Amino acid sequence: MKWQIAIKDYQHYLKIERGLSHNSIESYVRDVQKLIVYLEKHHIISSPIHIDKNKIQSFIYEASKSINAKSQSRLISGLRSFFSYLVFEDYRKTNPLDHIESPKTGRKLPDTLSVEEIDALIGAIDLSKRYNNICIGERNRAILETLYSCGLRVSELINLNMSDLFFEEGFIKVTGKGDKQRFVPIGLNTQNYINIWRQERTKIDVNNEYKDTLFLNHRGSQLTRAMVFTIIKDLAKAIHLNKVISPHTFRHSFATHLLENGADLRAIQLMLGHESITTTEIYMHVNRSHLKDVLLQHHPRK
């Protein structure tokens, strides 16, 4: 069995059987391709069926010289998934990654913004600047309000359609990882800012494939992830915010602020679209001083 045939079958499995998104599939495949590059570089002739643990360990050892522990752990996980698939399909009897341990990476707590910092970022948006008579500032305000009030991933934000807005019911339909859909509550203020942007959007000559896409650039095409990052980076610079932030920071802040104000962890999990509650539990560690205050306020033996 050749590597490229194995990868093609693996991609099909990830898409059809696992229901993963295009980006997730590409990430898994890149891990295997890095191994192939290593084998070719060292003139090692070995098929995915016959490659052994020693060759894999040599590859991981070389890779570890140029990547951090988190990336190394991700690489091992990706390769383990690939070879598990080969075992599942009876191409191999064993997984050469079974006894290779991932490095301990620790648990990185997410960065968050205070409500005041979020207000300052949104307040720094220039609502006077126009492109082709379109107020892009209204779009940017709606973007930040939506990221924070709904806890969206940036990929979910840029793929949000106007047909996904159910304002009368107070929800938006979000398509997350693996094309899994969920309904997320949306507040009246955010609805208002989106509606203001929708009025501006009518002035854009929209490309046919993006007729339903909510957030567009002034040329009528879908926004890129990089563009949303740039918008936020420029606003942080404008208010001299001494933090490195990204669209994901608003998602972290959404979850943290809900938890601090007494929201149920299970409800936060559903709104964030986390498959496992253990992923959401990281927010329990973000603000220990708040948890102490809750105990002192509510526990009978304080």
How do residues 36-80 score in pLDDT, each as one tens digit? 999 999 988 888 888 999 999 999 988 888 888 888 888 998 999
| Any domain includes 109 | no
99 noted as active-site residue: no
User: Are the CB atoms for 35 and 80 separated by under 8 Å?
Assistant: no
Say what the pLDDT of residue 69 is: 81
| Any domain includes 275 | yes
Same domain, 77 and 193: no
pLDDT at 284 over 70: no
Same domain, 183 and 129: yes
Say what the pLDDT of residue 146 is: 97
pLDDT at 33 over 90: yes
Strand runs (DSSP E) across 110-267, as ranges?
130-131, 134-135, 165-166, 171-175, 181-185
The catalytically annotated residue of 130, 177, 198, 225 is 177
Same domain, 26 and 148: no
The catalytically annotated residue of 10, 148, 193, 283 is 283
The catalytically annotated residue of 80, 141, 251, 257 is 251
Q: What's 284's DSSP letter?
A: G
CATH number at residue 216: 1.10.443.10
CATH number at residue 16: 1.10.150
| Any domain includes 93 | no
Tell me how far apart the alpha carbons of residues 39 and 200 are, in angstroms, rounded to a whole number.
54
Q: β-strands 165-166, 130-131: how paired? A: unpaired
129 noted as active-site residue: no
Tell me how far apart the alpha carbons of residues 130 and 57 are, in angstroms, rounded to a whole number.
56
pLDDT at 288 over 70: no
Same domain, 168 and 261: yes
251 noted as active-site residue: yes
Q: What's 170's DSSP letter?
A: T
Last residue within a domain, chosen from 53, 88, 123: 88
| Any domain includes 221 | yes
Tell me how far apart the alpha carbons of residues 245 and 247 are, in angstroms, rounded to a whole number.
7
Angle between helices 69-88 and 22-41 (to 10 degrees): 90
Same domain, 71 and 145: no
Say what the pLDDT of residue 150 is: 95
Most confident of 68-72, 209-213, 274-278: 209-213
Same domain, 159 and 272: yes
State mean pLDDT over 80-99.
89
The catalytically annotated residue of 153, 201, 252, 257 is 153
Of the pLDDT bands very low, low, confident and very high (cuts 50, 70, 90), residue 15 is: confident
Of the pLDDT bands very low, low, confident and very high (cuts 50, 70, 90), residue 211 is: very high
Which candidate, 241, 291, 228, 268, places its Cα nearest to that of 112? 241
User: Are the CB atoms for 86 and 48 separated by under 8 Å?
Assistant: yes
User: Are the CB atoms for 138 and 215 separated by under 8 Å?
Assistant: no
Same domain, 125 and 210: yes
pTM of the model: 0.65
153 noted as active-site residue: yes
Residues of the chain with pLDDT > 90, as a percent, come to 55
| Any domain includes 101 | no
Chain segment 114-161, per-residue pLDDT in tens: 999 999 999 999 998 888 889 999 999 999 999 999 999 999 999 999
Domain enclosing residue 274, as ranges: 115-294
Chain segment 221-254, per-residue pLDDT in tens: 999 989 999 999 999 999 999 988 999 999 999 9
Same domain, 25 and 127: no
The catalytically annotated residue of 53, 225, 233, 274 is 274
Which candidate, 202, 215, 90, places its Cα nearest to that of 141? 215
Q: What's 22's DSSP letter?
A: H
Say what the pLDDT of residue 172 is: 96
- CA-to-CA separations, 81 to 28, 86, 203, 245, 288, in angstroms, rounded: 8, 9, 48, 31, 35
